Amino acid sequence: MNGTATLTHQIEAVEERLIDFDEGARRLFQPYKDSAPVRALDVVSKLGDQPQIRLMAGALILAGTFADSARLVRAGARMLIAHEAATLAKDVMKTLIDRTRPRSANGRDEKKPKRGDHTAKERTSFPSGHSAGAMAAARAFSREFPEHAAEAIGGAAFIAASQVPRSAHYPTDVAAGLAIGLAAEAVTNAAWKAARMDQRSTE
């Protein structure tokens, strides 16, 4: 077996182990998907939806404007920019990758991420948009309020983790979403700092 074939075999073995891990999580939570605690997670999870995050960011901008707090305005603006970048990135991935959600998957093949172009909600499990958007917004907020970073990022992580017991996403969907959120925020943070430096140099 040559080097390329060996590497391919190793990658396939890792993929299979990840699918096994995802399936184990699905089986673990499946009996509780209609329980009161999991239904309560549905409510909490909505805080990671796009409209809610945009509303929170807008509220910070509005509050900062009325309170004459540039810090609040910056926090809201950075949250909104980072969230939109993360949303764009996860939307691109969702259009390229098909994966049936845990609550709807029938058979192992449907549980695997694979190249495709489906747009139906139940066929676009990978990656988790809630995880991406929530983490991007939380990290952006913590840039302006580092003293509240633990609460913000912890809240985003909780929203992300709640997708698994809800059978909305697999653990690997959530991990990918968190990575996208962090990467998108890092890019927008770099752009933000560059723009601020340009602004100061012209003053």
CATH, residue 173: 1.20.144
Q: How many structural domains compose the chain?
A: 1
Could you read off the pLDDT of 124-148 as tens digits, one per residue? 999 999 999 999 999 999 999 999 9
d(CA 29, CA 143): 35
Tell me what the mean pLDDT of segment 191-197 comes to. 84
Structural domain of 135: 3-202
∠ CA 118-165-80, nearest 5°, is 65
Q: Whole-angstrom Cα distance, residue 203 to residue 199? A: 6
> What element of type H or E holds 18?
helix 3-29
Average pLDDT, rounded, for the chain: 91
Does pLDDT of 5 surpass 80? no
Name the band, by pLDDT with cuts 50, 70 and 90, for residue 105: confident
In degrees rounded to 5, what are phi and psi of residue 183?
A: -65, -45
* pLDDT for residue 197 is more than 70: no
